[in-house]
DNA sequence: TAATTGAATTTTGCATGCAAAATTCATTAT
DNA sequence: ATAATGAATTTTGCATGCAAAATTCAATTA
């Protein structure tokens, strides 16, 4: 579900998607100035749709406009990273609640299929696969539970994908052995169509992640203090 | 806190604000086509910033773009109206929780000043005043509690102001005698800096409003059914 | 009279032009 | 050598131009 010009392939949308990818793929780095003329000609378009795309990305906080000085790729602050997870807590909590209310039998089967590759007692070694399933899992639930506005908020603010900026190389915030139990609890609650518990479990999942990030940031700061 | 080009008065922002007001003030009516050339010259600007503003409003769902056919003022569907209140439930719930954690002594005094004009036992007759305080009340709490992203989401999606489309002439969804107790419970929880209760009370407040709207819509539909 | 066709007009989507602001770079002064 | 000045260049913010698409409207036909 694209979030600006729906489907009709206009150049704004095209530029928007491309630049967004360039930022997520780290082709454009935080702090870097975005060269309008250059990028436009690279994309084979004029400055007009390029600038439109940048204006959208500005609203999503992916770039920063410095008036009369151009657009710069933005770096999220620790406070913002925490905010993103606090928002995901309540928004995905809502999505989980609604998913439990709306889910079909077929979708329950697919939901139960997540994380089956990882057996209960054993330590999880394939963190790459786990990370991938993690994202798909959250997306699956929000796709089912999200109604008007919710999905576009989660997408427009790039909350889901950009949450993954605090992550380790494997693309995970917390170790899989810790999160898999929470994921299973969410799957269980939604499968039983228990809306209240589903929301509760999703929120608990994010609360723990938020706490983890806060602790990590505190540790980092202490480290920096010590180094100076 | 404006939500596009921060403060530096650019024409995009100016057009954005003006059109938004024209929609809220019902100078532009739902379904109506927005005449670009005409509006631009009325605002004394060219089509460029005007169209930019429309693109932003499209993302906020206030207008709808029909490719190659122009922009139209949008009408919210009943399903969307309900979604808006469900989102406010979780978002303002989060804001209330954070407000309880962050609020200063001076702010507590101001918070306690809300709805003091309405005495406990008596029926509320000045619905206009109540409606105004209602909005200010919610805004006060979100201003205190909102962190990065939250305020811009609440604003960008126009959730607060546009929730007031289902309203009666007085600008209220539910009768004041019903909501004032809930408002007082929220004030109380935040003043006691009880974050959990504050969130709980705010959510309960919205849950009831959502239920009320759903009931009203169901009644309206039954009415229409009967008429045909 | 109502429906159909097509030419004239309007409007959209995007590129380009242009002045004002910002930046760069060479020159001069300290 | 570093700092200060200002001219040349680049870049931004917005208006305007233009082709393609859509709409309007008059003329024609059924």
Containing B64, the helix (H) or strand (E) segment is strand B63-66
- From B52, B59, B152, residue closest to A4, measured CB to CB: B59
A65 Cβ under 8 Å from any chain B Cβ: yes
From the CA of B138, how many Å to the C1' of C27?
Answer: 62
Task: Spell out the domain ranges in chain A.
Answer: 11-73, 78-227
Long-range contacts of B55-58 (CB under 8 A, 24+ apart): B55/A4, B55/A12, B55/A52, B55/A55, B55/A56, B56/A55, B56/A59, B56/B4, B56/B12, B56/B16, B57/B16, B57/B19, B57/B20, B57/B23, B58/A4
Burial B47-79 (b: 16+ CB within 10 A, else e): eebbbbbbbbbbbbbbbbbeeeeebbbbebeee
Cα A172 to chain centroid distance, Å, stands at: 12
Q: What are phi and psi of A171, to 5 degrees?
A: 85, 25
Nearest nucleotide to B8 by CA–C1' distance? D13
CATH 1.10.240.10 matches B78-227: no
A11-73 and A78-227: identical CATH topology: no
Helix (H) or strand (E) holding B73: strand B70-73
Tell me what pLDDT residue B2 has.
Answer: 28
Structure tokens at B155: 């604003």
pLDDT tens-digit profile, chain B (228 residues): 323 233 346 899 999 999 999 988 889 988 999 999 999 999 999 999 999 999 999 998 899 999 999 999 998 888 888 999 999 999 999 999 999 999 999 999 999 999 998 877 788 889 889 989 999 999 999 999 999 899 988 887 766 667 667 777 787 889 999 999 999 999 999 999 999 999 999 999 999 999 999 998 899 889 888 887
**Residue that the structure tokens 């809300």 belong to:** B114
In angstroms, rounded to a whole number, what is the distance separating the alpha carbons of residues B39 and B14?
A: 13
> Which CATH code, of 1.10.150.20, 1.10.150.120, 1.10.1740.10, 1.10.10.10, is assigned to B11-73?
1.10.10.10
Chain B residues within an 8 Å CB radius of A91: 87, 90-91
What's the CA A59/C1' C19 distance, rounded, in angstroms? 28
Query: Is residue B201 within 8 Å of B156, Cβ to Cβ?
Result: no
């Amino acid at each position: 579900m694209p979030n600006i010009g729906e489907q009709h392939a206009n150049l704004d949308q095209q530029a928007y998607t491309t630049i967004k990818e360039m930022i997520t793929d780290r082709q454009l780095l935080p702090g870097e100035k975005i060269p309008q003329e250059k990028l436009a000609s690279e994309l084979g378009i004029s400055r007009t749709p390029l600038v439109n795309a940048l204006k959208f990305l500005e609203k999503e906080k992916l770039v920063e406009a410095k008036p009369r000085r151009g657009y710069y790729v933005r770096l999220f602050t620790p406070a913002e990273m925490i905010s993103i997870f606090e928002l995901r807590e309540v928004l995905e909590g809502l999505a989980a609640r609604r998913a439990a209310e709306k889910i079909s039998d077929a979708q329950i089967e697919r939901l139960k299929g997540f994380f089956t590759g990882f057996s209960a007692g054993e330590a999880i070694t394939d963190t790459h696969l786990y990370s991938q399933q993690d994202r798909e899992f959250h997306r699956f639930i929000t796709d089912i539970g999200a109604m008007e506005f919710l999905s576009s908020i989660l997408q427009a603010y790039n909350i889901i994908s950009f949450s993954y900026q605090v992550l380790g190389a494997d693309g995970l915030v917390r170790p899989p052995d810790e999160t898999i139990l929470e994921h299973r609890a969410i799957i269980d609650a939604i499968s039983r169509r228990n809306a209240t518990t589903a929301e509760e479990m999703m929120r608990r999942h994010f609360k723990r992640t938020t706490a983890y990030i806060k602790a990590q940031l505190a540790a980092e700061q202490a480290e920096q203090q010590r180094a100076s």
